[in-house]
Amino acid sequence: MSWKNELAGRVRGRFREDELLSRHTTFRIGGPCDVFFEPKDVDDLVEAVNFLRNGRVPHIFVGQGSNLLFADSGYRGCVIRLGTGLRKSKLKGVRVEVGAGVLLHPLIRALVEKEMGGMESLVGIPGTIGGAIYMNAGAWGQSVSDKLHWVEVIDGSGEIRRVQKENIIFKYRWSLFQDLTEWVIISAGFEFDHAPASLLKDRIEEVNRKRKGVQPSDYPGAGSFFKNPKGNSAGALIDRAGLKGERVGGAVVSDIHANFIVNCGGATCSDVLTLSEKIQKEVMKKFRIRLEPEVRIIPPGK
Ligand SMILES: Cc1cc2nc3c(=O)[nH]c(=O)nc-3n(C[C@H](O)[C@H](O)[C@H](O)COP(=O)(O)OP(=O)(O)OC[C@H]3O[C@@H](n4cnc5c(N)ncnc54)[C@H](O)[C@@H]3O)c2cc1C
């Protein structure tokens, strides 16, 4: 029996073969994967992970696909999406437990209603809690790790384990989970600050206003393509290199924010990578600075 049939017989969540990954990334790019699986709950996820590991079947975990660029040839193996099956939240005073599939936007709205502050500046980031922790997502002075207390994972031996924040390293758009490639984040615990709802709502409006002014929203993309180099802004460097509006196929450097590569229609992964290499080359030539992608490219090094 093929691994696909065997997995299909073991799990309970949504299981699709040859699913186009362009349907599951905000870039709208990516070829088919062998299997696309959305676990029904944590037990279903554990079952799938242990099966795939034992059979040495390549697999990758995704949330909303808002920081991902998949190859045009897709992914050979199983893409596991942490979505509705991992969306339970529990509120106990200012302490909140959140499933990895919970989306940031509705979570922040709920926190505001309960007068809990500390994550409101992340409004507008279109990802899940799992993806945000993995990336240490942040905006306008706040990061997802600020109010974090612990993270629950399935570790490399298939066990569920709770890791306290002091044992996790977080840096700018980086968390230790990026090195622990076998681990999958299943939930997280936060402790927020009490703050009046009116103040949090004002803050959210301000952030939304700022975002609208500086970020393109008319074309698919994955947010900032490159990380900001120490003491510099990637967008400003790309702009000063004269690359706004630069195009390869359907991939274009946004006129609104030069660190946004957008899909203006029919862009392929190869278009985006050729354009990003051109940007890296020009910025290196002009400023002797190497830009590192923030977007996760799968498979790496493509
Ligand atoms: C319009 C737009 C604006 C954005 N603005 C911002 C911003 O202001 N700040 C910012 O930081 N980012 C921003 N982003 C990028 C992106 O939204 C964030 O990085 C987000 O946190 C990614 O979450 P996700 O669920 O979409 O993760 P995905 O894109 O699905 O995955 C990202 C990475 O996390 C891994 N991963 C996902 N879930 C898990 C899990 N449960 N366990 C283990 N690994 C996992 C994946 O394998 C992948 O390597 C923006 C993107 C867009 C499209």
| Mean of pLDDT over the chain | 96
User: Which residues does the annotation mark as catalytic?
Assistant: 173, 224, 294
Interval 204-254: pLDDT, tens: 999 999 998 888 888 999 999 999 999 999 999 999 999 999 999 999 999
Instruction: Give residue 1's pLDDT band: very low, low, confident or very high (50, 70, 90).
Output: confident
What local confidence, expressed as pLDDT, does residue 299 receive? 83
Q: Output the CA angle 67-40-57, nearest 5 degrees.
A: 65
What local confidence, expressed as pLDDT, does residue 258 receive? 97
The CATH T-level fold of domain 3-84 is: 3.30.43
The CATH T-level fold of domain 87-199 is: 3.30.465
**How many angstroms separate the alpha carbon of residue 27 from the centre of ligand 1?**
12
Interval 11-30: pLDDT, tens: 999 999 999 999 999 999 99
Return the CATH number of 216-298, one of 3.30.70.20, 3.40.50.20, 3.90.78.10, 3.30.43.10: 3.90.78.10
- The answer to whether residue 257 scores a pLDDT higher than 90 is yes
> Domain spans of the chain?
3-84, 87-199, 216-298
- The answer to whether residue 302 scores a pLDDT higher than 60 is no
Q: List the one residue out of 177, 82, 87 whose CA is nearest residue 137.
A: 177
Q: Per-residue pLDDT averaged across 62-76, rounded?
A: 98
> pTM above 0.95?
yes
User: For ligand 1, which residues put their CB under 6 angstroms from it?
Assistant: 26, 60-68, 82, 100, 125-128, 130-132, 134-135, 137-139, 177, 184-185, 221-223, 296
- DSSP string across 52-119: HHHTT--EEEESS-TTEEE-TT-EEEEEEE--GGG--EEEETTEEEEETT-BHHHHHHHHHHTTEESS
What local confidence, expressed as pLDDT, does residue 216 receive? 85
**How many angstroms separate the alpha carbon of residue 266 from the centre of ligand 1?**
22
What local confidence, expressed as pLDDT, does residue 301 receive? 54
Say yes or no: do domains 3-84 and 216-298 share a fold. no
Contact 76, 40 (CB under 8 A): no
Contact 76, 164 (CB under 8 A): no
Instruction: Give residue 188's pLDDT band: very low, low, confident or very high (50, 70, 90).
Output: very high
